[in-house]
Amino acid sequence: MTQWSGYFGLILQGALVTIELTLMGSVLALIMAFLAGLGRLSRFFAVRALATAYIEFFRGTSIFVQLFWAYFVLPFIGISLTPLQAGVLALGLNVGAYGAEVVRGAIQSIGREQYEACIAVNLGRWQSMRHVILPQALLVMLPTFGNNAIELLKATAVVSLISLTDLTFQAQVVRSQTGNTMVPFTTILVIYFGLALIISWGVRSLERRMARGLDGVRV
């Protein structure tokens, strides 16, 4: 019988890498989503065009190709990234492009009367965004952001192919060392599912927290 405890330690190390990647990727994705989402609503044509190009490019090509491009092609033009940097960069930029559409949709879903009220109380563009529009739009964005975070978690499996030691990579290591396939792959499937459940639970409770005090305001 194989000594499983050591191998489970290996898989747990992989889980840590996966969690780290998911967190860092999500932070980058969140920043990009707001930059590009607000960029698409900008008054300036150049900013709108840039944001649209970014969104279409990263949604149009697959995450896998972007990751390989970041890892294998960028070194030839002088930018060498570690696997972790390439992974966070590709994941964050890719999911950020999807998130940008969520930000744009949520902001546009806020009713006209809110904008008119802002003008009536003499708020500037930035002030109305910051104090009136975004607090309401954030609540609309949250559920979809949760789904995007789960997509990001699932996409992290791809980084194992550029030799980053995440869950999937470690499962392959265990497979090649023990010859057993059922145990490592089932284990990591369950771990991924557990992580996805944690994310959706976290987003739901955050949603409840943020919705507090808005009862009766939203229809």
Partner 1 sequence: MEWDWNFVWEIMPTLIQGVKITILATLLGSVLAAIVGLAIALARRSPNKGLSRTVGFLAEFIRGTPLLVQLYFIFYVLPDIGILLPPLVAGVIGLGLHYGTYTAEVYRAGIDNVPRGQWEAAKACNLNARQTWTHIIMPQAIPPMIPALANYFIAMFKETPLLSAITVLELMNQAKSVANTYYRYVEPMTLVGAFFLVISLFSVVLLRWLERRYGRIEK
Identify which of residues 29 and 129 has a Cβ nearer to partner 1 in the complex.
29
**Shortest gap between Cβ of 108 and partner 1 (angstroms)?**
15
Identify which of residues 39 and 58 has a Cβ nearer to partner 1 in the complex.
58
Rg (CA), the chain: 21
Identify which of residues 103 and 155 has a Cβ nearer to partner 1 in the complex.
155
Residues in CB range of 146: below 8 A, 6 or more apart: 199, 200, 202, 203, 204
Separation CA 198–CA 115 (nearest Å): 36
CB 25 within 8 A of CB 34: no
Among 189, 210, 211, 214, binds partner 1 (CB under 8 A): 189
Identify which of residues 31 and 189 has a Cβ nearer to partner 1 in the complex.
189
> If you ran DSSP here, which 8-state letter would residue 130 be given?
I
Residue ranges in 74-113 that form contacts with partner 1 under rule CB under 8 A: 76-77
Separation CA 67–CA 86 (nearest Å): 7
- Tokens read off for 107: 């902001």
Identify which of residues 89 and 188 has a Cβ nearer to partner 1 in the complex.
188
Among 9, 31, 53, 57, binds partner 1 (CB under 8 A): 57
For position 72 contacting partner 1 by CB under 8 A, the verdict is: yes
Separation CA 155–CA 170 (nearest Å): 16
CB 36 within 8 A of CB 98: no
Residues that bind partner 1 (CB under 8 A): 56-57, 59-66, 68-69, 72-73, 76-77, 150, 153-158, 160-161, 167-168, 171-172, 175, 181-182, 185-186, 188-189, 192-193, 196-197
